[in-house]
Structure 1
Amino acid sequence: MRRFDRWPVFVLFLSSAFACQQSGQKASLQEVLGSITAERLAAHIQRLASDEFEGRAPASRGEELTVRYVIEQFQQFGLQPGNPDGTYIQKVPLVGITADPSASLAITANGKRMVLRYGEDFVAWTRRVVETSSVEADLIFVGYGVQAPEFQWDDFKGVDVRGKVLVVLINDPPVPDPRDPSRLDERVFGGRAMTYYGRWTYKFEKAAELGAAGALIIHETEPAGYPWAVVRGSWTGEQFDLVAPDRNMSKCAVEGWITYERAKALFAMVGKELEALKKAAVSRDFRPVPLGARMTLTLRNTLRMIESRNVIARLEGSDPKLKEEYVIYVAHWDHLGIGPEVNGDRIYNGAVDNASGMAGLLEIARAYARLSPPPRRSILFLAVTAEEKGLLGSRYYAENPLYPLERTVAVINVDGLNVYGRTRDITVIGLGNSTLDEHVRAVAAEQGRVVRPDPEPEKGFFYRSDHFNFAKQGVPALDTDSGIEYIGKPEGWGLEVRRRYTAERYHKPQDEFDPSWDLSGAVEDVRLLFLVGHRVANDDQWPQWYPGTEFKAKRDAMLKR
């Protein structure tokens, strides 16, 4: 078939490109594309995801090894230090807050008392930079906890929630389409596609904005896109945040999650039915429901003020004027470190998430460093910290950029490569947001592939990786994912391997390097990302947000300054 015609051409590049890169000589576009191979990607993944790197947690021995490895690679490629101070480092000040896991959460109502176990029934933390954070407050159910004037939606209805603990549902309100109740209304909260109102970050931010003492999100595996084990693994142990001038005292005293089973029991204890209230919450008429229960929780914290690091390298553009404009490739180097034991293993290696993305970033950087001629615009290669702690490294860069965001034309994210073989398609998360889509379509067509939207838009993946912090600031950002139509595999196989990875490996020690992986699909995707960035770096036109996209106004205002 026609879609396979170009694959053998790529293969022909390999031997000559390998010899050329070994000697450090400059190479043509075709040669550097051919030098991106499965063997090279596998070598980076195997190294970064090894037990020696201890899961690459920020402020750990794993960070030291990872940062050293990435800098050494950039230096070997011949790339310039990316920080204008002459180093490859951007220091990221963080606070590490570790809650005592012996904490228990007590709920009293109608003379009854329920005690929840930390890690099993709930997880909780504080972002306040304090040694003790306590809550003794009334519980109030606020539905989905959303105030969205553009959808004429307000779950709070003016009710004063100051000093209370909000109990809130996960994701956006799933509003049925009045024309077809079996489908979601795409005119309200994007239908199946999650908006930022559905993200846990929004719900905690809204609770703090309204003066709540705390917030508990009710976890559900299907709408969340991950099981309770992921919540427990991500939110127990040391938690990180950037430190605001007020030492984060404007945030809630307690943020946390509760399992669906324990939430259901809580509602039953106060004579209410969770499922019935969930249905009521899918309406603009919903009003907050006081639960007639009181929550008591004290978190005793160990504080650690630390400096983590983003790593950044720079390739100067060849155009005297356009070299002051930038395309950024970003990938996070961190994972979860050493955590709770699962099947006898405590090292969360993060092979797919995100040693594979770092491998892609490094191979793209190596290819650009050898390319002759270089692109017209400058390219930045940014390896960020603390993505797993809330996208903190990319947030710090986006709020403290080393190069002006008004001259940053695009950001391309590399988060989790395809390790299962070649596909006939490539997924764009947030397809329809910007003209970057057209660059992806053009390159995919050259590879004989098609572009498809996120097959799981309800899981809000666009808001869950580092490109989002740049999008929030207005910079057009691209996030791709593996295709789902695997060559030589039956229909549905791609979605099944996604599901199995999420259930069995994602954010668990089982996310380890596997020598049986088929990285041919990863190679094709990395080459695509290289070519998309190359097109953007040479194009006369900047990428633009499409009209109606939530980030367009911020970009327009930025470029008028």
Structure 2
Amino acid sequence: MIAFHRLAAAAVLSLSVAGPVLAQTPAAPMLDAAAIKRDVEVLSGDAYAGRGPGEVGEEKTLAYLVEQFAAAGLQPGGQNGGWFQDVALTRYQRDNASVSIRLNGEIQPLELVRDLSVTSMHIGQTRIEDAGLVFVGFGVDDLGWDQFAGADLTGKVAVVLLNDPDYASDVGPFNGRNRSPQGGLGAKKRAAFARGAVAVLQIHQFETASWPWQQIANSDPDPKFVRGPAPERGVDTSGAIRWEAAVDLFAKAGFDLPALALSAREQAFRAVEVPGVTLSTEFSIAASPMVTRNVVALQPGTDRADETVIYGAHWDAYGIGPADDRGDRLRNGAIDNGIGTATLLEIARTYAKALAPRRSVLFIGYTSEEDGLLGAYEYANAPLRPLETTAAVFNLDPHLALPMTRSLELIGAGRTGLEVDLARVAAGQGLSIEAEHDPAAGWYGRSDHFTFAEQAVPTVYFRAGSDLVEGGTTRGMAMIRAYNSQHYHQRTDEFDPAWDMAAAAQEGTVAYLLGREVADSDRWPNWNEGVPYRARRDASAAARD
């Protein structure tokens, strides 16, 4: 299956470079870059208070989105003939948290937020006292690997690396550079807790994560959320430690952490106890119910109106938090995901100005993406229109403000036939398809379209690429690296009047044209052979006859 994905991805990339002359002269986008910029400025303004779900910014954000959809001439597509879909969540708030690490009984100079974070969804009081540390590599127990072998984790803290053993390899059992399910914290926690661990401490390194420690620091005091009522949870404590702090701690204990991390990429690696090092933490968790909302607008179809094409973007950012050293309490989310939301609005306006499509089109502003794709999961698990007759889902989560580009970046290549259509439509706009910049970051599983993929609805996720008309990939990649390391999920993700939204308009134009093709056709996109979702999609074929 993995080999097939790579072959399919290679085929798409080869198609995209078949017309290099076109790629040098991108067409002017259909979508209005100035309109996108105006909406980004509004949505990321301080008046919207960082667009935090359940906070003061939510109602203002929802009102603006409804106002814009209605002004474009779209109809309500939500519950009970309205504009919204309710998303019931449980909010977990941590209070009175402390955490300390000792080496041979001596407290180490490590601080919560600066060096460490800790969380849990176990309601009530959590207290761990002087639990020993065991380094278990990437915490993998699957596909013939067992990095816990020989270790007694009873009453101890499992220290794990972020990602999986293949994160820096082109090939391997864990999907090469593409992050695998085994690389997620959830899989590591399940394996460690099943062996008696009382907590999991993940070592955070930019190289394996793709986001900086400051994002962890910003989010440490934030509430956490799950869909639905609070589940019963037993042991659930997890946290993170900054790479540099972990390297220093391990060195004091007589271990070379970089060397251990390198050895953990081999199947022969076995867990290592870190003698003399203990962790203590204490905090309380209170849970409370809340309701947030997706915004849903409808462009009705004509002769195939019972069938659906979906465009979506998450409207939420991180809202209000503790003040930084400038006194700023807001993470405004101008790029993430003000640009995606603004592009969604402009695509909706473009549909509304054109002849009605054959299939109906939904435009969804998802809530709580930053909390775990929760709004999209709500729709995907409680759809307002049948998923069996939803032809395709397009996701707008661009992650950068770029000027005019010659390329689009395809995330998670090799999965659906839509990728071939994407390459063709992009070429018509003078754009090539470039390979995913950082597959180890796991972007495919970190944005809203993934919730639909899990329900077997064909999706394709792409965003503006790095080959800029002025400056090429050198300038483009420098801009991408700067944003990811300095602004992603931070208070500095703020609107800049100097931004050029040309690339967002290009990305949105291709999304409009590709989605319009699907909306005007009677064909049904599907997953490629060998992709796990294919069998489930095929099983619902009778609904599409």
| Same fold, TM-score > 0.5, yes or no | yes
Sequence identity percentage = 38
Q: CA deviation at 1:285?
A: 2.1
Query: Who is 1:362 aligned against?
Result: 345
Query: Who is 2:397 aligned against?
Result: 415
Residue type matched to 1:304 in 2? S
Q: 1:451 aligns with which of 416, 433, 450?
A: 433
Q: Map 1:225-236; keep pairs closer than 5 Å.
A: 225-236=210-221
Q: Does 1:482 align with 2:477?
A: no
Q: CA deviation at 1:5?
A: 6.4
How many matched pairs?
Answer: 520
Residue type matched to 2:418 in 1? L
Over 3 Å counting, the alpha-carbon distance change for 1:229 and 1:5 in structure 2 is closer
Query: Who is 1:170 aligned against?
Result: 162
Query: Who is 1:291 aligned against?
Result: 274
Q: 2:224 aligns with which of 222, 239, 243?
A: 239
Instruction: State how far apart, in whole Å, the 1-side matches of 2:329 and 2:302 are.
Output: 47
Q: 1:54 aligns with which of 38, 49, 57?
A: 49
Q: 2:294 aligns with which of 299, 310, 318?
A: 310
Over 3 Å counting, the alpha-carbon distance change for 1:243 and 1:289 in structure 2 is farther
**1:127-179 Cα shifts (integer Å, max 9, x gaps):** 23x13233344432221122332xx333234866465432110111037xxxx
Over 3 Å counting, the alpha-carbon distance change for 1:417 and 1:289 in structure 2 is closer
Q: 2:370 aligns with which of 376, 388, 392?
A: 388
Residue type matched to 1:39 in 2? A
Query: Who is 1:148 aligned against?
Result: 142
Over 3 Å counting, the alpha-carbon distance change for 1:209 and 1:412 in structure 2 is farther
Over 3 Å counting, the alpha-carbon distance change for 1:501 and 1:242 in structure 2 is same
Q: Does the CA contact (< 8 Å) of 1:417 and 1:522 recur in 2? A: no
**1:445-476 Cα shifts (integer Å, max 9, x gaps):** 11111111212212211121111122122222
Residue type matched to 2:98 in 1? S
Q: Map 1:516-527; keep pairs closer than 5 Å.
A: 516-527=498-509
Over 3 Å counting, the alpha-carbon distance change for 1:39 and 1:270 in structure 2 is same
Residue type matched to 2:69 in 1? F
Q: 1:123 aligns with which of 117, 124, 134?
A: 117
Q: Does 1:105 align with 2:89?
A: no
RMSD: 2.5
Give the gaps of 5 or more residues in structure 1.
Answer: 11-33, 176-182
Q: CA deviation at 1:84?
A: 4.3
Query: Who is 1:7 aligned against?
Result: 27
In structure 2, the residue corresponding to 1:117 is in which secondary structure? coil
Instruction: State how far apart, in whole Å, the 1-side matches of 2:38 and 2:409 are.
Output: 25
Instruction: State how far apart, in whole Å, the 2-side matches of 1:470 and 1:89 are.
Output: 19
**1:80-110 Cα shifts (integer Å, max 9, x gaps):** 222242111111111222223x522233454
In structure 2, the residue corresponding to 1:103 is in which secondary structure? strand
Q: CA deviation at 1:323?
A: 2.2
- Normalised to the residue count of structure 2, the TM-score between the two structures is 0.89
Q: Which stretch of the first structure deviates more once superposed, 416-425 or 344-353?
A: 416-425
Give the gaps of 5 or more residues in structure 2.
Answer: 1-20
Instruction: State how far apart, in whole Å, the 1-side matches of 2:124 and 2:267 are.
Output: 40
Q: Does 1:94 align with 2:89?
A: yes
Q: Does 1:41 align with 2:36?
A: yes
Q: Which stretch of the first structure deviates more once superposed, 469-478 or 305-314?
A: 469-478
**1:428-452 Cα shifts (integer Å, max 9, x gaps):** 1011111110121111111111111
In structure 2, the residue corresponding to 1:324 is in which secondary structure? strand
Q: Does 1:472 align with 2:454?
A: yes
Q: Which stretch of the first structure deviates more once superposed, 510-519 or 79-88?
A: 79-88
Runs of 4+ in 1 over 6 A off after TM superposition: none
Residue type matched to 1:261 in 2? E
Q: CA deviation at 1:201?
A: 4.4
Query: Who is 2:71 aligned against?
Result: 76
Over 3 Å counting, the alpha-carbon distance change for 1:371 and 1:491 in structure 2 is closer
In structure 1, the residue corresponding to 2:329 is in which secondary structure? strand
Of structures 1 and 2, the one scoring higher in RCO (CA 8 A, sep 6+) is 2
Q: Does the CA contact (< 8 Å) of 1:418 and 1:521 recur in 2? A: no
In structure 1, the residue corresponding to 2:488 is in which secondary structure? coil
Q: Does the CA contact (< 8 Å) of 2:150 and 2:270 recur in 1? A: no
